[in-house]
Amino acid sequence: MQPPNEPPYEPSYQSPIPSPYTPSSSGAVPPQGPPQVNFDVISHAWETLKPNLGIWVGAYLIYLIISTVASLVIGQITGNGIPLPGQQNVSAMPNVGLVLLGQFANFVISFFLMSGLYRLAINNVRTGVANLGDMFSVTDVLPALLIASILYPLAIFGGALFCIIPGILLAGLFMFTFPLIVDQNMSALDAMKTSFEALKPQMWMAVAFTFVIGILTFIGMALCCVGVLITGPLGILATATLYRDFFPNKTLA
């Protein structure tokens, strides 16, 4: 459902990067077969990141600041946060309902901002240009993001309850959920199903890919938290590059 006075998001771009899964401008026949999960996209993502480094550092810093401040504020409201300087540490049991509501609010804010970064990354990969405004342009798919903010963590948490491994597998298989929502305006369920079906034939490679991206982010956090301003965007751009290979064209309105 679209907001009443806001047109649906329609990026006006044509990818300057030839995709191996679409006919090239020279008329050569593209190679047959499904796209593959590969780690070469990380080096391609680095080449995309370098000329746009300033914008990406700013975008990721905005993401970290808003997420952190929102988490602290929600924690104070729900009584489950870290005591502020000079604030007495109250040991009373917090209201469980408020805590769960606060956790949901944290998920929504985090996934909303991360989805904005994915839209920024997908457009950057396709056009070579990074536009900071893309980060805040995902209000057109807000209903789907809200639903995905519930279903995505629930699915992974539910899978993790069964000896952990199913949860890890689902994290890899649902890797394209939020990119599909922001790029193709899919519903949450359709995006999760499409991501699952696309990556199912290569689920172990998908899991390995998400693990490597997580390691990149962890390394950035370990470098006095400053390195994550580089490794965080690199991981998002790598995922967006892989997504572009699997879904080279915007097929839905």
Q: Which one-letter DSSP state was computed for residue 7?
A: P
pLDDT of amino acid 187? 96
pLDDT of amino acid 104? 78
132-136, 186-190, 193-197, 220-224: which range is least confident on average? 220-224
Phi, psi of 173 (to 5 degrees): -70, -30
For the packed helices 228-246 and 203-222, what is the interaxial angle rounded to 10 degrees? 160
**pLDDT tier for residue 26 given thresholds of 50, 70 and 90:** very low
For the packed helices 142-160 and 188-199, what is the interaxial angle rounded to 10 degrees? 50
Q: What's the whole-model pTM score?
A: 0.79
For 37-78, what is each residue's pLDDT tens digit? Answer: 999 999 999 999 999 999 999 999 999 999 999 888 887 787
> In which residue are the tokens 């300057």 written?
16
Which of 11-29 are b and which e, b meaning 16 or more Cβ less than 10 Å from the residue's Cβ?
eeeeeeeebebeeeeeeee
For 105-143, what is each residue's pLDDT tens digit? Answer: 888 888 899 999 999 999 999 999 999 999 999 999 999
83 sits in the region (left: phi over 0; alpha: psi -120 to 50; else beta) called: beta
Identify which of 137, 208, 150, 200 has the alpha carbon closest to the alpha carbon of residue 174. Answer: 200
Burial class (CB in 10 A: 0-12, 13-18, 19+), 69: exposed
Q: Which residues are within 8 A (CB) of 144 and not within 5 positions of it... i.e. 6 or more apart?
A: 181, 185, 186, 187, 188, 191
